[in-house]
Amino acid sequence: MILVTGATGRVGGSVMSQLLDKGESVRALVRDPQRAALPDGVQVVRGDLADPASLGPALDGVDSVFLVWPTIAADHAAPQAIAEIAKRAQRIVYLSSNGVSEDVTEGILGSHAKLERLIEDSGVEWTFLRPSGFAANTLAWAEQIRAEGVVRWVHGAARRALIHEGDIAAVGVVALTEEGHVGARHTITGPEAITQFELAQAIGLAIGRTVRFEETTPDDARQGLFADLPPQFVDEIMAAHAAMVTQPEKVTDTVEQLTGTPARTFGEWAADHAADFKP
């Protein structure tokens, strides 16, 4: 039995679907089973990672866990939650992030680093997935594109190697169901690093409409696009995008090496999600 957390999200949902396609027994941890529209064949169990005492029923009889952690929001519960998982499961495949290191202790990367340390110290078999930026993050542009055919964002020349959520999931399924991945930190990316100008163009091609990129200043972005985020998160986002102007996200072929299929391009992702950007 494999427990999938984050099963109602894009990566967790794709992991769940791919496991079902392989004939695996799958259980989903959800906070509200009545609202979770999950495929037939999935055992749906109520629980919340932020409430470790609620995890017992979901973990009963589980061999492996695909762990999508509610970053930052549930960090206070992480030590107890990981301890509870390690009591029952043999293996954790954790969705971490590219850029995690022992030197990073704050922000989103710091949260992932904390979870990695807790999992390593728990005694359970583990594999860490460290993806580059998610292609799905460009859905933040959807409202602008639908309304005006424009993307207003920072650092248009930043080169991203964005990854399709289906490719992240495919590597996760390999780590969950095959041997040889215990103790591995898999850095996974899209197949090429392209500018954000080119990302906008690819979305336009997918929807049959010109999409132009209008670069905004960091100050304007802080006051508008990121007004609702904590300042430390905004600083992290800004610094990362600025750095990628001169140091593009690194590209790996890990997806192809582990799954036998090349990672999908951003253009392919945009075609898969064209309906999200159309008026």
Q: In this predicted model, what pLDDT tens digit does every residue of 62-92 receive, in sequence order?
A: 999 999 999 888 999 999 999 999 999 999 9
Rounded distance, CA 52 to CA 222, Å? 35
Rounded distance, CA 94 to CA 177, Å? 14
Query: Is residue 120 within 8 Å of residue 113, measured between CB atoms?
Result: no
Please name the fold of domain 133-162+190-249+264-279. Rossmann fold (3.40.50)
What CATH class has 2-131?
alpha beta
**pLDDT confidence band for 241 (50 / 70 / 90):** confident
pTM comes to 0.93
Characterize 136-159 residue by residue with b for buried, 16 or more Cβ atoms within 10 angstroms of its Cβ, and e for exposed: bebeebbebbeeebebbbbbbebb
Q: Which residues contact 139 (CB under 8 A, 6 or more apart)?
A: 273, 276
Average pLDDT over the chain, rounded to whole? 93
Query: Is residue 115 within 8 Å of residue 82, measured between CB atoms?
Result: yes
Q: Where in the chain is the domain with CATH 3.40.50.720?
A: 2-131, 133-162+190-249+264-279
State the average pLDDT over residues 32-39.
87
String of DSSP letters for 236-264? HHHHHHHHHHHSPPP---HHHHHHSSPPP
Q: Which of 29-38, 172-181, 190-199, 234-243 has the lowest mean pLDDT?
A: 234-243
Query: Is residue 263 within 8 Å of residue 191, measured between CB atoms?
Result: yes
Query: Is residue 70 within 8 Å of residue 109, measured between CB atoms?
Result: no
